[in-house]
Amino acid sequence: MELSGNLLTPRRKTRQIHVGDVAVGGDARVSVQSMTTTKTADVDGTLAQIYALAAAGADIVRCTCNEEAAAEGLAQIVPRSPVPIVADIHFHHKMALAALDAGVQGLRLNPGNLRKEAEIKTVASEAKDRGVPIRIGVNAGSLDKELFERHGGATPEALVESAQRELAYFAEVGFDDVKISVKASSVALMIAAYRLASETFDHPLHLGVTEAGPPPAGLLKGSAGIGTLLAEGIGDTIRYSLTADPVEEAKAGRQLLESLGLRERKGLDLIACPSCGRAQVDVIAVAKAAQEALEDRNLPIQVAVMGCVVNGPGEARGADIGIAAGKHKGHLFIRGEIVRVVPEDEMVEALVAEAEKLVAEGVEARLAAADKTAAAEAEADRMALLDEGGDDPNAAIVRIEKIRRRTGETEKPRK
Ligand code: SF4
């Protein structure tokens, strides 16, 4: 699949760091992150979640390291994890040192919660010795009190200054293997803060709308904030913060990058018409059935479910494959060309079977294998529907006239 990311504002050049074997920044592809919700001391439970996150599209996973048992868990998790592990550190610098001992590939420090200069420098020094990068994870909700008061709130300038201050501490011990985040739960604040951070730093930026909440609102907030910035060329790695199974975060991150053309499609992209008066089938139900039947098959194609054969195949000719309803039939099409007509109650089944063949054999082969009578049959159905419906596909005008005749409304002036 051709990526369309080059239609967006070119990505701003940042320096490159490595979180384990994942490059972040520079010309590396934008990576997806998520965070486990298990107790890190629960090694098997955490690893199961990490594997699920990696399968859903996460390139890097963060685990909390809030107690000694968590650090010990990390020592067992890191060598068995399919993706690099970042330890999340808030109040105790000793937990950062313990996580480094456990072998993590990255640290996240919250400058609002870990404030002592000497401790911050100790951690940076140890990270430097081990070649482990640190994310300076500024968060509007836990901004340093002094910065909050001096700036009159958690402003973009205050968030960026917090990161600058941390960078200055790091610089004193010669450490600069850093990425930066300036998250907020307000989408507008987060966008403004990252724009300023992008002008201020050349370090890679980790994007996120923090505490976005449960889907769908959380997904919308994350997409509005992260998507806007990526479209402006800002951002090197992303994380959705959802109040949901973290697998949903990883999926959302991957799907956002796919939809922006910044990552090759890994899975299904199901499109469906919004339905209208011409619909010959319950589009929502058919789209849901198709989604359920196709989503676990990991077919990297775009599939269209269209409510009528009058407009469907033409409107969705950009899709790899699709189905359009009409005259109690399903009209199966590949890149807009009708290849088969099946009974309506078999349309989802036929769509799934053809989608698998399409992925296995390719577009040309499946077009060559098309039922030669299908196009003519579909055209006949299309013309019949047009004749029946014309500009009044559901006969609404005829019905209204009937009602008016019955009630005598035609005699009265229209309101
Ligand atoms: S494909 Fe047909 S049913 Fe769907 S929105 Fe277009 S005209 Fe309406």
pLDDT of residue 410: 54
The best mutation among 281, 310, 317 to test binding of ligand 1, ranked by most ligand atoms within 8 Å of the C-beta, falls on 310
Cβ(64)–Cβ(38) below 8 Å: no
Indicate the fold that domain 5-259 takes in CATH: TIM Barrel (3.20.20)
What residue's CA is closest to ligand 1, atom 8?
276
What residue's CA is closest to ligand 1, atom 1?
312
Q: Class for domain 269-389, per CATH?
A: alpha beta
Residue 396 has pLDDT above 90, yes or no: no
Name which of 109-123, 165-179, 206-220, 389-403 the model is least confident about.
Answer: 389-403
Q: What percent of the chain has pLDDT over 90?
A: 80
CATH 3.30.413.10 placement within the chain: 269-389
Looking from the CA of residue 307, the nearest atom of ligand 1 is 3
pLDDT digits (tens, 9 = 90+) for 18-54: 999 999 999 999 999 999 999 999 999 999 999 999 9
The best mutation among 280, 306, 317 to test binding of ligand 1, ranked by most ligand atoms within 8 Å of the C-beta, falls on 306
- What mean pLDDT is predicted for residues 216-230? 97
- What mean pLDDT is predicted for residues 388-403? 68
pLDDT digits (tens, 9 = 90+) for 188-204: 999 999 999 999 999 99
pTM, full prediction:
0.82
Residue 392 has pLDDT above 70, yes or no: no
pLDDT digits (tens, 9 = 90+) for 337-383: 999 999 999 999 999 999 999 999 999 999 999 999 999 999 999 88
Ligand 1 mean position, distance from CA 394 (Å): 13
Ligand 1 mean position, distance from CA 12 (Å): 40
Looking from the CA of residue 276, the nearest atom of ligand 1 is 8
CATH 3.20.20.20 placement within the chain: 5-259
Ligand 1 environment, Cβ below 6 A: 273-276, 278-279, 306-308, 310-312, 315
Identify the band that residue 6 occupies on the pLDDT scale cut at 50, 70 and 90: confident
Ligand 1 mean position, distance from CA 309 (Å): 8
Looking from the CA of residue 279, the nearest atom of ligand 1 is 3
Ligand 1 mean position, distance from CA 324 (Å): 9
What the block records as the tokens of 224 is: 């509005």
Ligand 1 mean position, distance from CA 281 (Å): 10
Ligand 1 mean position, distance from CA 280 (Å): 9
The secondary structure of the chain, three-state, reads: CCCCHHHCCCCCCCCCEEECCEEECCCCCCEEEEECCCCCCCHHHHHHHHHHHHHHCCCEEEEECCCHHHHHHHHHHHHHCCCCEEEEECCCHHHHHHHHHHCCCEEEECCCCCCCHHHHHHHHHHHHHHCCCEEEEEEHHHCCHHHHHHHCCCCHHHHHHHHHHHHHHHHHCCCCCEEEEEEECCHHHHHHHHHHHHHHCCCCEEECECCCCCCCHHHHHHHHHHHHHHHCCCCCEEECCCCCCHHHHHHHHHHHHHHCCCCCCCCCEEEECCCCCCCCCCHHHHHHHHHHHHHHHCCCCEEEEECCCCCHHHHCCCCCEEEEEECCEEEEEECCEEEEEEEHHHHHHHHHHHHHHHHHHCHHHHHHCCCCCHHHHHHHHHHHHHHHHCCCCCCHHHHHHHHHHHHCHHHCCCC
pLDDT digits (tens, 9 = 90+) for 54-104: 999 999 999 999 999 999 999 999 999 999 999 999 899 999 999 999 999
Identify the band that residue 266 occupies on the pLDDT scale cut at 50, 70 and 90: confident
Residue 408 has pLDDT above 80, yes or no: no
Residue 146 has pLDDT above 60, yes or no: yes
Residue 171 has pLDDT above 80, yes or no: yes
Ligand 1 mean position, distance from CA 388 (Å): 16
pLDDT of residue 414: 46
Looking from the CA of residue 310, the nearest atom of ligand 1 is 2
pLDDT of residue 413: 44
Ligand 1 mean position, distance from CA 373 (Å): 24
Identify the band that residue 397 occupies on the pLDDT scale cut at 50, 70 and 90: low
Ligand 1 mean position, distance from CA 301 (Å): 21
- What mean pLDDT is predicted for residues 221-237? 98
The best mutation among 271, 278, 282, 385 to test binding of ligand 1, ranked by most ligand atoms within 8 Å of the C-beta, falls on 278
Mean pLDDT of the chain: 92
